[in-house]
Amino acid sequence: MAHDPSRAPVHWLFGDQLGPHFLPPDGGIVMIESRAVLRRRRFHRAKAHLVLSAMRHRAAELGDRVRYVQAETYREGLERAAGDAPVTVHHPTSHAALRFVRGLRQVEVLPPRGFLVQPETFRQWAESGGGRLRMEGFYRRVRQDHDLLMDGDHPAGGRWNLDKDNREPPPKGEAALPVPAPYRPREDEIDQRVRSDLDRWERSGEIAFVGRDGPRLFPATRAEALRALRAFVERRLPTFGRWEDAILAGDWAMSHSLLSASLNLGLLDPAECVEAAEDAFRAGEAPLNSVEGYIRQVAGWREYMWNLYWHFGPGYRESNALGHRAPLPEWFASLDADAVRARCLSTTLAQVRDRGWVHHIPRLMILGNHALQRGWDPAAVTDWFHRCFVDGYDWVMLTNVIGMSQYADGGRITTKPYASGGAYINTMSDLCGPCAYRPDERTGERACPFTAGYWEFVHRHRERLAHNYRTARAVKQLDRLRDLDDVLSEARNRDPDAAP
């Protein structure tokens, strides 16, 4: 598709590049709503709603400057919107999208935006460590390079990582944390038109979704995202740290920021999020453990996942070091929480079904832990997280699921598999009390599926785990189980999750 240099260039905004930091100072803008993207996966309906609402809101804000095209594919939309004019676009967030735009002769790919660390900087850091990739070292480098929570050359408070201060179980006897509710946006006519379109496509059988699309919970505009950031820093950040890993059945948000979707849509820049948190600490309005924990999530882990995605390359998605091949059961794939008897799994699935979001501990230690124990195909698990979470994109889910949750890369970014029995869930939540299963029982009718599943997982991967200093003790404990044969039968021969 040759272009005419005499035509004015236009800038293409992808649907996750919606903030002002992606916008050129002048010139025309192109936005493309591709129907094929929604057909490619069975997305959560709340996610489809949020993305389309955010794109259409941004187009409305840009007014006559933008040409907004609804098309079957990006290629068709770009042809209609730009013709043969030269096009610029900031580095997309997936390998597939980058291959596509680089294959278009009229398109110039600009450096990525929306992250603190550029891939070249990360590559230099990775090579300087002799191939050893660990988040803690990277996180310290980011803190130093960006002068985040630093007192001169030293970390504020004298410690880089206050994670040990952020592992309190939830307060006993409380249905919810004693904190203000999170910011809640208000829907408008654009939201109603999006919902009408989704209804029409679903009725016609053109596109299928999972999950429920209730009133929108997450920002769809820059103004909403800024209000959500301010509300979090002022009202919820002070209590974020201590209960960062805790779970309450009746409190889906806890003290979390709920800003991941806004960041991943490009409505917020990570620099403004971490700077706002640090400002609260410096003003004495939030404790260090909460601020450090939040900055570690945004400037540490999020940046680490983004850069590992590009560092490892497209072949990383094929990683399957544990040889897990089992398909996802239909009840899990379709978010059928009512088909599940284990309360922790049922509650978490219901929250995903109703909102398209749970925080990192239910993701890792309930959903991911269960998939890992059952030996589900890590690529299928990755795809499920991508399509079922409002903040799910290829770059963030691939490394989080393949590398951390499913240990499918064999330990390239983590030191051990994140598998655990029911005891961890019982300690960090209120989910086990009313459950039909008991976290301390591994056989019998009340055997906890996570406890039995954990020991079967350790047995199945005994040789690998015995040679890992962080899991060798579990193998020794396994050898002391007098009822091991019964435990293995419990885990293998029936599905203790499905309701009778």
pLDDT tens digits, residue range 143-163? Answer: 999 999 999 999 999 999 999
For the cut 90, the answer to whether the pLDDT of residue 334 exceeds it is yes
Type and span of the H or E element at 31: strand 28-34
CA 282 to chain centroid: 29
Alpha helical stretches, state H, 26-165: 35-40, 45-62, 74-82, 95-102, 119-128, 135-145
Residue 272 has pLDDT above 60, yes or no: yes
Q: Quote the CA–CA distance of 496 and 235 in Å, as a whole number.
A: 41
Nearest to 468 by CA among 396, 408, 415, 394: 415
Domain at 119-183+219-312: CATH code: 1.25.40.80
pLDDT at 490: 83
The Cα 45–Cα 25 span in angstroms is 34
**pLDDT on residue 482:** 92
Residue 66 β-bridge partners: 29
Q: Name the residue type at position 466.
A: A
The model's pLDDT over 369-402, given as tens digits with 9 standing for 90+, comes to 999 999 999 999 999 999 999 999 999 999 999 9
Element (H, E) at 453: helix 449-460
Q: What's the whole-number mean pLDDT along residues 177-204? A: 97
Distance, CA of 74 to CA of 250 (rounded, Å): 42
pLDDT at 362 over 50: yes
Please, are residues 248 and 45 in contact by the beta-carbon 8 Å criterion? Answer: no
**How would DSSP label each residue in 345-360?**
HHHHHHHHHHHS---H
In angstroms, the first-to-last Cα distance of the chain is: 59
- The CATH classification of domain 320-493, taken from the options 1.10.579.10, 1.10.357.10, 3.30.70.600, 1.20.1280.50: 1.10.579.10
Helices in 83-146 by DSSP H: which ranges? 95-102, 119-128, 135-145
> Of how many residues is the chain composed?
500
Band of pLDDT at residue 494, cut at 50, 70 and 90: low
Tokens of 89: 């676009």
CB-CB neighbours of 290 under 10 Å? 25
Average pLDDT, integer, range 79-95? 96
Contact 456, 491 (CB under 8 A): yes
How would DSSP label each residue in 298-350?
IIIIIHHHHHHHHHH-GGGGG--TT---BPPPHHHHTT-GGGB-SHHHHHHHH
Q: Which of 434, 439, 401, 438 is nearest to 420 (CA)?
A: 439
Locate the DSSP E strands across 103-176.
107-110, 150-151, 154-155
Query: 10-110 has which CATH code?
Result: 3.40.50.620
Nearest alpha-carbon partner for 314 in 377, 398, 223: 398
Residue 354 CA: distances (Å) to CA of 75, 174, 307, 349: 34, 22, 31, 9
Q: Compute the mean pLDDT over every residue in the chain, rounded to the nearest whole number.
A: 95
Name the band, by pLDDT with cuts 50, 70 and 90, for residue 5.
very low
> DSSP assignment of 404-472, as one string?
IIS-TTSSSS-SS-----HHHHHHHBSSSTT-SSBTT--SSTTB-HHHHHHHHHHHHTHHHHHTSTTTH
Structure tokens at 54: 């955010």
Burial of 311 by CB count in 10 Å (0-12 exposed, 13-18 middle, 19+ buried)?
A: middle
The whole-number average pLDDT for the span 186-197 is 98
Task: Report the amino acid identity of residue 137.
Answer: G
The answer on pLDDT for 2 being more than 70 is no
Most confident of the following: 81-85, 264-268, 487-491, 494-498? 264-268
pLDDT in tens, 440-471: 999 999 999 999 999 999 999 999 999 999 99
pLDDT tens for 205-249 read: 999 999 999 999 999 999 999 999 999 999 999 999 999 999 999
Delimit the domains of the chain by residue range: 10-110, 119-183+219-312, 320-493
- The pLDDT of residue 426 is above 70: yes
Per the listing, tokens 């660990």 go with 134
| DSSP-derived pairing of the beta strands 154-155 and 150-151 | antiparallel
Where does the pLDDT of residue 495 fall: very low under 50, low under 70, confident under 90, or very high at 90 and above? low
Amino acid at 500: P
Helices (H) and strands (E) counted in the chain, each on its own, are 24, 7
Contact 293, 162 (CB under 8 A): yes
In this structure, are residues 491 and 453 in contact, taking their beta carbons and an 8 Å threshold? yes
Contact in structure between 332 and 350 (CB atoms under 8 Å) = no
Check residue 492 and give its pLDDT.
76
Rounded-to-integer distance, Cα 78 and Cα 87, Å: 9
pTM of this prediction?
0.95
Find the mean pLDDT for residues 419-446. Answer: 96
Residue 481: half-sphere exposure toward Cβ, Cα within 13 Å: 22
């390239």: which residue's tokens? 412
Please state the rounded mean pLDDT for residues 347-365.
98
Question: By three-state DSSP, how is residue 376 classified?
Answer: strand
Note the helical H segments in 207-269: 222-231, 237-240, 260-264
**Most distant pair of Cα atoms in the chain: their distance:** 80
Name beta bridge partners: 70.
33
Q: What pLDDT sits at residue 161?
A: 96
